Amino acid sequence: MNGRHAVTGVYCAAATPLKENGDPDLALFADHCGRLLSEGCHGIALLGTTGEANSFSQDERRSILESALAAGIAADRLMPGTGVAAIPETVALTKHALSLGVTKVVMLPPFYYKGVSDDGIYAAYSQILEKIADNRLKVILYHIPQVSGIPLSIPLVKRLAAAFPETIVGIKDSAGDFANMQALVAELPNFSVLAGADPLLLPLLKAGGAGCITATSNLVADSLRLVFDHVSDAAKAAEVEAAQARINAYRTLSNSYVQIPTIKAMVALKRGEDAWFRTRAPLVPLNENERADLAAKFAALD
């Protein structure tokens, strides 16, 4: 927004298309990335929750990232998720990204063991960064406790940001608690606080946040970009509010059924590409009745 954030803008939490045999459809994924950028995204936050990252092997994750680069997507527009349950694998995935010139990553904490202390999470992130030992790296922490079971408390985030100020530069807050985001912005004004929930983009930007990493940008990147670009333009206030309302309508529809299969089904409807309906187990695609209901409601949007 104002140059003080290391990472700022509209990033798409990109969905991952699958072939009939369940393998990632690398060509379609790379094409999707290109279209997202042309529609207004500043970058692609691939291999996150919406991208079903934790259902893919390390080799598959590497190939998905490599496919985007091979298609001509610039390394500085990509921000893969590299945090997994085992520290050595997080290190390996992050080093792989760095070896390709991709320097920004979103990093979950180790998430299998629940009820761990802030000291334990701090130790994990510290060990990861010490093993990587690359001053090019920029890490966005990933706070999604309703899925990971591992909340990143504000004291912990402040401690990590103070210990690694050039590396740990922001957080994706997907908990949906706006008060937590406001507190992070207030206490860490140069830290990139990124909304993980689309309806909070506009209020977060007004509070001094840095942008978003959201699922609905697979569908309405143009509206998210309009909000981001014109949030401070009084002459466009009505346009911004209308864009945010459109974003919210798509987000609400995406919550009609299980969110990730629903987002993918909405992408399938938008693109006319049936590959997007597929999910990897344990997620299951929408059934025929759900798809028909979604299609009718989707057609009524805009």
Backbone dihedral region of 21: left (phi > 0), alpha (psi from -120 to 50 degrees) or beta?
A: alpha
> Does residue 1 carry a pLDDT above 70?
no
**Active-site residue flag, 172:** yes
Please tell me the distance from the alpha carbon of residue 268 to that of residue 262, in angstroms, as a whole number: 10
Please tell me the distance from the alpha carbon of residue 116 to that of residue 151, in angstroms, as a whole number: 10
Residues 6+ apart with CB under 8 A from 167: 129, 135, 137, 138, 139
CB-count burial class (<10 Å; 0-12, 13-18, 19+) for 215: buried
Check residue 3 and give its pLDDT.
Answer: 63
**Active-site residue flag, 131:** no
User: Does the annotation flag 50 for ligand binding?
Assistant: yes
CATH code at 9-235 = 3.20.20.70
User: Does the annotation flag 213 for ligand binding?
Assistant: yes
- Give me the half-sphere count of Cα atoms (radius 13 Å) on the Cβ side of residue 271: 24
Instruction: Give residue 39's pLDDT band: very low, low, confident or very high (50, 70, 90).
Output: very high
Q: Phi then psi for 193, rounded to 5 degrees?
A: -95, 120
List 104, 142, 250, 264, catalytic entry: 142
Check residue 166 and give its pLDDT.
Answer: 96
Type of residue found at 286: L
List 11, 172, 250, 264, catalytic entry: 172
Say what percent of the chain tops pLDDT 70: 99
Mean pLDDT of all residues in the chain? 96
**Segment 69-93 mean pLDDT:** 98
- What tens digit of pLDDT does each residue of 166-208 get? 999 999 999 999 999 999 999 999 999 999 999 999 999 999 9
- What tens digit of pLDDT does each residue of 116-163 get? 999 999 999 999 999 999 999 999 999 999 999 999 999 999 999 999
Q: Domain coordinates of the chain in residue numbers?
A: 9-235
Instruction: Give residue 302's pLDDT band: very low, low, confident or very high (50, 70, 90).
Output: confident
